[in-house]
Amino acid sequence: MRTRITTPVPPEQLAEDARRAIGDAVWAPSVHNTQPWRFGVRGARISVRADADRRLGVADPAGREMLISCGAALYNLRLALRVLGYAPDVRLLPDPDRPHLLADVHMNPGQPPDGDLEDLHGRIRRRRTHRGGFGPGGVPDTVISRIATETQTEGARLIQAVDAHVEGALAALTDAAEHVQRRTPSYASEIARWAPAPGTRRRDGVQEGGYPREARTEPRFAARDFARGQDRGVPGPAEGGGREAGLVMLLATQTDDPAAWIRAGQALQRLLLRADQHGLAVAFHTQALEVPELRDFIRTRFCAGRHPQSLLRIGAVSGDAPRFEAVRRPVEEVTTEEWW
């Protein structure tokens, strides 16, 4: 643990700390594990940028999901810097003439971290996206209340499916979107690009061990067809502890612009780490939010006019549930040293 920073930090130490923080930032989740971010370092400043070449042109033409992913990486960056003893000063979207520049983070002197921050930080690289069902048992109200409060602190709102009818409707909309996308050739090609074959040496994309062959839940939330009809993935429908869908939630924002998407990403990552702290796992279902007509329906019917940014299922998994080896690109590949 770093002590309080009270004197100027040598350039060599700033550079090393920036690299360490970026090394944590890249462990944020991203749709299809596209990892659509880049970082620039100059002295005590770290810039966060979107890598437009990694945007999903078919599923995410506006770049909304790309910026949510970058927002999650930004939260990891903030958390890592705080654990290193800095007080990160974040300025969102600092330069309108450079649309892919999302944030500047200044490494200001700060206080040493407390135990809770250190615990959350330690979960950044251990957390995994869940893609199966959950075991029996509900999520404690106290945990959801805390997560909802922290989500709101980051500028988003967590909306719980109020009854079985809402859960069923959201499941049906997810299933409808999955059918629409599977019959779209350009979407199928995009999935193929980000689901490499077994044995790949790539450090991005959804690896074979990262999804079950049959991930049925009750109600049924359709899973992505990463295997594309082939015998790939983790065997067994009950991998991860059961078939229950878990607690169904929508993460929403008041506005629907790039700044809101980045805030939603920060809120999402904070939620994921806090859920992991309480022994919970989180599954994502973004299909319906990638179909404009369905996303608008969800906004008006279930979000009181707020804009849905992510559809989540939260629940507990068994202690012996398999954990796949996640992959990330090396820090050197996503970082540029800047001179201006």
pLDDT per position as a tens digit, 266-286: 999 999 999 999 999 999 999
For 129-151, write each residue's pLDDT tens digit.
888 888 887 899 999 999 999 99
For 87-123, write each residue's pLDDT tens digit.
999 999 998 888 899 999 999 999 999 999 999 999 9
Q: Where are the beta strands (DSSP E) in 113-156?
A: none
pTM assigned to the model: 0.94
For 31-57, write each residue's pLDDT tens digit.
999 999 999 999 999 999 999 999 999
Rounded Cα–Cα distance for residues 42 and 337 (Å)? 6
| Token digits of residue 291 | 């179909």
Phi-psi region of 63 (alpha: psi -120 to 50; beta: other; left: phi over 0): left
Instruction: Read off the pLDDT of each residue in 211-235 and give the average, rounded to a whole number.
Output: 76
* Count: domains in the chain: 2
Contacts of 302 (CB under 8 A, 6+ apart): 159, 161, 166, 169, 170, 250, 308
Rounded Cα–Cα distance for residues 324 and 211 (Å)? 9
Instruction: For residue 44, give its domain range.
Output: 11-127
Band of the pLDDT at 237, cuts 50, 70, 90?
very low
227 pLDDT exceeds 80? no
Angle at 252 between CA 176 and CA 49, to 5 degrees: 100
Residues 229 and 152 in one domain: yes
Residues 254 and 157 in one domain: yes
Residues 176 and 72 in one domain: no
**CATH at 122:** 3.40.109.10
